[in-house]
Amino acid sequence: MITDSTITRRSFISGGAALAVTASSVVSAPRAAERRLRMALVGTGARGSFTWGQDVVEGYSDVVAIVGLCDINHKRVEAAKKLMGTTAPSFVDFDRMIKETHPDTVMVTTVDATHARYIVRALELGCDVMTEKPLCTDEEQCVSILDAQKKSGRKVTVTFNARHDPEAKRIKGLLMEKAIGDIISVDFHEYLDTSHGADYFRRWHRMKQNSGTLLVHKASHHFDLANWWLDSAPVEVTAFGDLKFYGRNNSFRSTHCRVCPFKQQCKFYWDVTQNQDYVKLYVDCESEDGYLRDGCVWREDINIYDTMSMVVKYENGVFLNYTANTYLPFEGQAISINGRTGRLDYNEFGGGGFENKGLRLTRSFGKSEVIQDLEARRTGGHGGADTSLHDLIFRGSQGSDPLGLRADLRAGARASLIGIAAYRSIEGGGKTIRIKDLVEV
C-alpha cells in the first residue's frame, strides 16, 4: 500500500455542525466553462512542485488555475515554478500572496510543523484550505485550527491519498458489507527499508520539532486508514518508541553525504546530485536556508524514533496494535483485521527472493479467498493513489463518494492526535494518554 516516498479532542470528536466540514466547496468548484478553482500553494518542495504543481498543471488545468506560489526559500519557489511549468506569480510573503491573488483555496505543502500557521491564516483571510497530512504536529496547533475553522466557517480538506489505494478502498467496501462481522481488533505493521526508511533520517523529518516524529508525519496515514475503516474515534493511546538504529547508533558520521569522508564505507551514502530535480529544488537553493537534502543518517541531533510500538483503543471497543520499524531489508505492510465472523489480511512486503502480497478474506469455519476484484490501478504517484485523490477533489461531484473517501478536518485532527498522543505517551515512559485530555474544544 501507499508509502511517502518523495518520488514515488474533547467535544469536537463527538461532532458538531461547525466542525463537520467536508471538501464540498472544493469539490463543487465551478465547472470549467464558468470558472476554474483558483488554488494558491504554499511550500514548493517535492510534494508541492510535483503532486500539487506539475501534476495539476498537466492534468487538471481545465478545472484548476494555480494562481500563486509561496515558499520561504525564494530560490526554491522559482525553481518549482519552472518545474511546474506555470506562470503563476511567486511570493515569499504568504499574506501578500493571498491578498494579491484572491484564491478560492490554499494548498498547504510545507514542513509538517508549519501547516497549522498557514491553515489558520488562510481561514482567517477567507479561503478554504487543502492540506497535506499531517494536519498538525501538536495539540496546540490542533486547537488553533479547529478554532479558526469554526470562526471562519470555511472548509478544510486533508489530502489523505492512502485512502485511494485500490486495496484500501476494497477493504473499506468489505468492512461496510460486514464481510467479517463486527471488528474486534486490528494489527497494523509498517515496514520501512534502508532506502526509503533511511531517507526520513536524512531530511527535516529527523527532528521532532519539524515532523512530530514519524508517529505523526508517517503514521498519520495509517491511523487515518484505521479510523476510516473502523468508522470510530480513538479514545486512548499507549506507546513505546526508541532510536535504536540511526542517529547516535554508529561509530562515524558527517553533516551530509556530499562532504563525507566515510563515503566508501557507509552503506547509507546517497548522492543527491544524481537527481537533477533534487539539484534544482534543494542543492541549488542551499545558500538561502542551509537545508541539506542529503543529511547524514548518523547525525546526533536526530530526535525521532526509528522503532515504534503502540496500542490504540477506540470508542467502539476495537484495539489497534501498531508497529513501525524503519531500517528493514524490505518495505511494506502487514495488516490484519480481526472480525467476529472472519479476518481480512492485507500483505505487501518482500525482498531477497521472497514475496508476500495480496488481500485475503478468510471466513471463520469457512474458506479463505484471495480478493481479486480490485479497482484498476491508475497511473501517477503512489501507485495511482495521487491521481484518484486529484480526480475526487478536482472532478468529483458531491454525492459520488460511497466509500467516504473525502477526509475532512475532523479526520485530519483524529489522525494527527493519535500520533501526538503516542509521542506524549513515549515521553511519559509509556503512560496511557487519553485523546480528550489533549484537545478540548
Would you tell me which residues interact with ligand NAD (CB under 6 A)? 4, 6, 42-48, 71-73, 76, 109-112, 114, 132-133, 161, 204, 217, 382
141 to 115, 293, 416: CA distances (angstroms): 9, 26, 10
In this complex, which beta carbon is closest to ligand NAD, that of residue 212 or of residue 342?
212
In this complex, which beta carbon is closest to ligand NAD, that of residue 136 or of residue 179?
136
CB of 2 to ligand NAD, least distance (A): 6
CB of 280 to ligand NAD, least distance (A): 12
In this complex, which beta carbon is closest to ligand NAD, that of residue 161 or of residue 347?
161
SS3 106: strand
In this complex, which beta carbon is closest to ligand NAD, that of residue 46 or of residue 435?
46
In this complex, which beta carbon is closest to ligand NAD, that of residue 120 or of residue 183?
120
Name the residue number minimizing CB distance to ligand NAD. 45
Backbone angles phi, psi at 304, to 5 degrees: -100, 175
CB of 75 to ligand NAD, least distance (A): 10
In this complex, which beta carbon is closest to ligand NAD, that of residue 76 or of residue 154?
76
In this complex, which beta carbon is closest to ligand NAD, that of residue 134 or of residue 342?
134
Of the candidates 57, 60, 45, 62, the one whose C-alpha atom is nearest the C-alpha of residue 4 is 45
**Each residue of 81-105: b (16+ CB within 10 Å) or e?**
bebbebebbbbeebeebbeebebbb
Half-sphere exposure of 181 (CA within 13 A, CB side): 11
Q: What is the DSSP letter of 295?
A: B
SS3 108: strand
Cα distance between residue 109 and residue 132, in whole Å = 6
Cα distance between residue 416 and residue 430, in whole Å = 18
Q: Which residues contact 80 (CB under 8 A, 6 or more apart)?
A: 44, 45, 48, 49, 53, 69, 71, 281
Cα distance between residue 379 and residue 368, in whole Å = 30
CB of 56 to ligand NAD, least distance (A): 14
Q: Which residues contact 362 (CB under 8 A, 6 or more apart)?
A: 342, 343, 344, 345, 368, 369
In this complex, which beta carbon is closest to ligand NAD, that of residue 19 or of residue 97?
97
Positive or negative: CA dihedral 144, 146, 147, 148: positive
